[in-house]
Amino acid sequence: MHGVNERFDFRAEVPELTDLGRVHFIAIGGAGMSAVARIMLARGVTVTGSDAKDSPMLRALEREGATTWVGHNPSHVDGADTVVISSAIRESNVELIRARELGLPVLHRAQALASTMTGAVAAAVAGANGKTTTTSMLTVALQAAGLDPSFASGGELADQGTNARWCAGAPFVVEADESDGSFLVYRPAVAVVTNVQPDHLDFYGTFEGVQTAYAEFVASMPRGGLLVACRDDDGSSVLAQDAAASGVRVLTYGFAEDADLRVHSVKSTGLGSTARFVDQDGVERTLHLAVPGRHNVLNAMGAYLAAVAGLGAESAAVLKGLAHFGGARRRFEVRGEVGGVTVVDDYAHNPGKVAAVVATAAEIAHARGGHLRVIFQPHLYSRTNDFATDFARALAAADDVVLLEIYGAREEPVPGVGSHLVADALLIEIGGTGGKLPLGAHGVTSSVPVLDRGEAVAALVTAARPGDLLMTIGAGDVTELADALTEGLRQR
C-alpha cells in the first residue's frame, strides 16, 4: 500500500533505551545509521555493527567504542539483543535473516533514535530540500546561544567533524526523513518544514500521499508545539494554513509579504551572503552567512525561528552562530581550488535541490567571470523515471553538463530507464532556450554525453578555465570524483 511502511509501525510507542540491551546495526556506516549509533554509544549502550565496505566512518565509530565488521555474516548478530536497520536493508540480508530466526526485536533507525530522545525537548526538521542544512544550522545556532543541544543529522557539520552528539538535559535536534514515513516517530515540540514537494513517489505513489504524510507529521506534535514553515513553498504554505486552522501554533518565513518572518533583501558576498529581514516580532535584523544562495538564507530563517521562537534562544546569539556556520558535508562543500578553478561537491538529488544548487553555483561562477561545469549522477531509477524532465530544467542553468549513469542504491535496474532520459530532456531544454549545448556536444552532435567516471573527470578538467566552478552533484558515489577533479587540475 502506498504511503504505508509495512515493516514498521511509526505511530507506535518506541521502546525504552534501557530495554534495548546490546544493539547491532546492519549497515552501520551510513549517514543516518552512524548518527544513531553515536548517540547510543554516548548514552552507554553496547553497540556492534557491520557494513558492506570499510570506511573512515567505521574507524571513527570504533574509536568511539563500537565493535564493527566489514561484510555481512549471520554470526555478527549472535549476542545482540536488538537489531537496527534502515528501509534500505532487504529481508534477504543474511544478518536480518538471522535476527528474525532468533526472534530479536528489529527497529528502524528512526525508532532507535527516538528511543534515545525520551524526555528531551525535540526539534525536528523535515522537507524535501534543505533539511540537512537547516538541521545543522539550528544545531550551530543553539550551540552559540549556550543551549548545547543533542543532535542527529544526515550530514556531518563541517567544522565539528561529526553528525551526532548527545548532551544530557538539552534540546534534541533531529533531521526527520520523510522518504519512508519514519518522520512520524519523533513527535517534536518544534517542527520545521522547509518545503513539501513531490518526491519519493516510489513510496507515496502520488503528491497527495506526500501531503497526507506531512499532515500526519504535524498532527503527531504534542499540544502547544510550534510549526515553523516556509511561506514561499506552496506545499508547506498549505500545510501551515491547515495546521493553524486546526489550532497548531504556526510561524512562517520567506520572501513573501505575508510571512511572519519576512526577508526583504539578499546580497551575494563571494561564497557567502548577507540578508536583511524583519523577524516575527517586527524587528529588522541582518543575517550574515558563509554559505551561498537564497535557499540557504531560507534555511537559516527556518533555523532562526525554531531556535528563537521555539526553543527560547537569544536572537543576537543565534545570528552570531549562523554567521559562523561552516556548512555541512556534501552541501555546497568546497573540495579544492587550483589555478582559479573551484571544485564543489553537493548531495542534491531531487529536482528542487538540483535547481537551487545549480542556480546558486551559476550565479557565483558568472560573477567571477567563469562557467559552471557539472557532473550529475541521477539517484534511483524510480526518481529518474518520474522526474527526468524536471532534472533537465534544473540542470539547464549550468554552462556545461555531463551525466553519469544512475546510482541505483536500494533499487534494481529498470529496463529502459537510464541517464539518457535526463540527457534527452536536457538537450531539448537547452535547445529550446537557445543556450549552449552541454560539454562534449561541441555544438553539433545530437545528444548529451553520458560518460563513465574517468571520461567525466577528464572532460571537465580539460574544459576548466580560471573563474570556473566544477561541481559534482548527486547522492551516490559521484562525490568521489570531486577529489579526482582537484587532482586532475593539479596535474594539468
Active site residues: 131-132, 175
Rounded Cα distance, 293 and 302, in Å: 15
Residues whose CB is less than 8 angstroms from the CB of residue 240 and which lie 6 or more positions away in sequence, other chains included: 193, 227, 229, 231, 250, 252
**Rounded to whole angstroms, how far apart are CA atoms 292 and 134?**
14
Residue 252, pLDDT score: 98
Residue 438 vs residues 58, 81, 399: alpha-carbon distances, Å = 39, 54, 7
Contact yes or no for 410/404 (Cβ under 8 A): no
Nearest to 236 by CA among 220, 251, 222, 247: 251
Average pLDDT per consecutive 10 residues, the chain (492 residues; last block may be shorter): 72 92 95 92 96 90 95 95 92 96 95 94 92 92 94 80 87 91 94 89 85 94 95 95 96 96 88 91 94 88 97 96 78 83 86 85 86 92 88 89 87 87 80 45 47 87 90 89 89 83
What per-residue confidence (pLDDT) applies to 248? 96
pLDDT at site 91: 92
DSSP string, 174-224: EE---TTSGGGGS--SEEEE----S--HHHHSSHHHHHHHHHHHHHTSPTT
Q: Is 209 left (phi over 0), alpha (psi -120 to 50) or beta?
A: alpha
Local structure of residue 359 (DSSP, 8 states): H
Give the Cβ contact number of residue 491 at 10 Å: 8
The DSSP code sequence of 233-260 is SHHHHHHHHHHHHTT-EEEEEESSTT-S
Helix H or strand E segment including 284? strand 284-289
Residue ranges and CATH numbers for the domains of the chain are 18-108 (3.40.50.720), 117-323 (3.40.1190.10), 333-491 (3.90.190.20)
75 exposed, middle or buried (CB, 10 Å; 0-12, 13-18, 19+)?
exposed
pTM tops 0.75, yes or no: yes
Give the count of alpha carbons within 13 A of 23, CB side only.
Answer: 35
Residue 267 CA to residue 157 CA, distance in Å, equals 24
Q: Where are the alpha helices (DSSP H) in 280-380?
A: 294-305, 315-323, 351-367
Q: Which amino acid is at 442?
A: H
Nearest to 200 by CA among 23, 351, 361: 351
State residue 109 phi and psi, 5-degree precision: -60, -30
